[in-house]
Structure 1
Amino acid sequence: MKLNGKIAVVTGASRGIGKAIATRLASEGAIVAINYREDAKAKPAEALVSELNSKGFKAQAFRADVSKPTECHTLLDDVAKTFGRVDILVSNAGIEHFGKLEEITAQDFERVFSVNVAGQLFVTQAASRYLPSGGRIVLTSSVSAQISIFHHTLYAASKAAVSAMVLNLAPELGERGITINAIAPGGTATDMAKENGKLYTHPALQNVSPEALLKSKASLQRLAQPEEIAAAVTFLVSDDASYVTGSTLAVPGFLTSAEKSLR
């Protein structure tokens, strides 16, 4: 129960890694505000709340589109009003993008950066008004910011911006005793991975079986489970990471030098 009584906000928490993070934080004693973006996601968010509450944990769902700065502030205002304070922010909401350079549009840029960069910046801004000394912020970057992946420029750039953000916000928030870090997952077995996994393979290797590719690139020869990413996040928001700030913690178990050899 590392987080007993802490109030934690997790954005994009209705599925995948966000769901695993919310579940792990709740199991460690935190009261979790589960954020979802649209009404279509309300059902899985409420289902997660019911599941956690049935286990004796405490959680509540909050709707907000974090790509809109005003809704970021409304989200944190609502959580603080409901629970009395905010101790932890985990900014997990994000969207994928693959596309050729000549096909990237201004609309694509706005859509990706409004969620992956602006959304994380403004939810951090909103949370900073409430976080006390000892508060914890974890944003979501990606190992994609550090490796070459075909047609992945826009997404990778957005995630690289997140790592730069935590590095530069660390001294500012540190004056108030608040730490800020980022988590950089590698390939993780989620619904999003099922939808986009094949796009991570260079066209020249499309005829190679996924199993063979995974074994050629994997130290552990498998994708991460969402719960393994959640465990790393739990470390960063706990007292165990009290002297860790401005860092991007990579959890890239499936990426090795073999991936770099594809550049």
Structure 2
Amino acid sequence: MRKLENKTAIVTGGSRGIGANLCTSLAAAGASVVVNYASNASAAAEVVSQIESAGGKALAVQADVAESADVRKLFDVAEETFGKVDILVNNAGVVHYKTIEDTTDDEFARIMRINVNGVFYGMREASQRLADGGRVISISTSAALMFLPTYGPYCASKGAIEQLSRSLAKELGPRRITSNIVSPGPTETEMFLGNNKEEKIDRMRKLAALGRLGKPEDMGPVIVFLASEDSGWITGQVIPVNGGTA
């Protein structure tokens, strides 16, 4: 079923990994999709090509979510191209695996600038410009519940996102706009696999009750559900999608 027919979605960090799958999943459900990317134009173009080849509508837009003006541009382009914005998926983010002791000022500032400021700017813009009955979905991490060493700054940024999402749910509820969090477990993405040694990857795999790492395509159906009318009575919630990891 094309549950998102005549809807427009913005997906930040939509060119690779989980974000790319979220774009194609939303498009398959009928949404027109703005595929945001920071630097990899060819990867974003490939996502757009996949969507258009399947009969969908999509547009790649370069923007640094850590810059409020760039986030405004995402909404401007979406409105100019598709007429409105119904769905915002805050997916863009960076990982950081260092102890608190070893994390520099610049490293901590970078992760907060991208992971927290970027989501805040998106939520603020959505508060002003999202259509009534719209959806805000933000990506967190199940690692926030696992108390793992070297994850402190990263999980701190995701904890901030969760609190922002809960407040936004209350603020936008009168307009029937919902705000929820999807919390993936360890997932087979370039970012996760490229930043961890095989020993750690195998350990994470074994932590899952279902005995494997997540795949980007595990997230798409959950995002489509939260973006659709089916989820209209769900807001301010954290939805774990982690195979029983945490």
Identify the residue that residue 163 of structure 2 maps to in structure 1. 164
Identify the residue that residue 113 of structure 1 maps to in structure 2. 112
Alpha-carbon distance in structure 2 between the residues aligned to 1:90 and 1:141: 11
1:223 and 2:224 equivalent? Answer: no
**Deviation of 1:237 (Å):** 0.8
1:184 and 2:183 equivalent? Answer: yes
Structure 2: gaps (5+ residues): none
Alpha-carbon distance in structure 2 between the residues aligned to 1:95 and 1:214: 19
Identity of aligned residues (%): 39
**Deviation of 1:197 (Å):** 3.2
Q: Which amino acid aligns with 1:150?
A: P
Alpha-carbon distance in structure 1 between the residues aligned to 2:5 and 2:100: 47
Q: How does 1:26-175 map to 2 (within 5 A)?
A: 26-38=27-39, 41-175=40-174
8 A Cα contact 1:25 1:32, kept in partner? yes
Relative to structure 1, is the Cα distance of residues 215 and 174 closer, same or farther in structure 2, using a 3 angstrom cutoff?
closer
Alpha-carbon distance in structure 2 between the residues aligned to 1:53 and 1:200: 39
Q: Which amino acid aligns with 2:22?
A: I
User: Could you give the per-residue CA deviations for residues 7-52 of structure 1, whole angstroms, max 9, x where no partner exists?
Assistant: 01101000000000000000001111100012xx111101111121
Q: Which amino acid aligns with 1:22?
A: C
8 A Cα contact 1:62 1:75, kept in partner? yes
Of 112-121 and 102-111, deviating more is: 102-111
**Deviation of 1:219 (Å):** 0.9
1:233 and 2:223 equivalent? Answer: yes
Alpha-carbon distance in structure 2 between the residues aligned to 1:214 and 1:160: 21
User: Could you give the per-residue CA deviations for residues 79-101 of structure 1, whole angstroms, max 9, x where no partner exists?
Assistant: 11111100101110000001122
8 A Cα contact 2:178 2:235, kept in partner? yes
Identify the residue that residue 19 of structure 1 maps to in structure 2. 20
Q: Which amino acid aligns with 2:243?
A: G
User: Could you give the per-residue CA deviations for residues 158-181 of structure 1, whole angstroms, max 9, x where no partner exists?
Assistant: 011111111111110112221111
1:243 and 2:227 equivalent? Answer: no
Relative to structure 1, is the Cα distance of residues 14 and 231 closer, same or farther in structure 2, using a 3 angstrom cutoff?
same
Q: Which amino acid aligns with 2:226?
A: L
Of 245-254 and 214-223, deviating more is: 214-223
Moved beyond 6 Å, runs of 4+:
none
Alpha-carbon distance in structure 1 between the residues aligned to 2:58 and 2:226: 20
8 A Cα contact 1:149 1:200, kept in partner? no
Identify the residue that residue 260 of structure 1 maps to in structure 2. none
Task: Report SS of the residue matched to 1:137.
Answer: strand
Structure 1: gaps (5+ residues): 202-209, 257-263
Q: Which amino acid aligns with 1:23?
A: T
8 A Cα contact 2:9 2:34, kept in partner? yes
8 A Cα contact 2:185 2:245, kept in partner? yes
Alpha-carbon distance in structure 1 between the residues aligned to 2:31 and 2:244: 30
Task: Report SS of the residue matched to 1:103.
Answer: coil
8 A Cα contact 1:94 1:116, kept in partner? yes
Larger Rg: 1
8 A Cα contact 1:138 1:180, kept in partner? yes
Alpha-carbon distance in structure 1 between the residues aligned to 2:13 and 2:7: 19
**Deviation of 1:196 (Å):** 2.1
Aligned residue pair count: 245
User: Could you give the per-residue CA deviations for residues 138-185 of structure 1, whole angstroms, max 9, x where no partner exists?
Assistant: 011111111111111000110111111111111101122211111100
8 A Cα contact 2:8 2:85, kept in partner? yes
**Deviation of 1:254 (Å):** 4.9
Task: Report SS of the residue matched to 1:101.
Answer: coil
Alpha-carbon distance in structure 2 between the residues aligned to 1:236 and 1:242: 8
8 A Cα contact 2:206 2:212, kept in partner? no
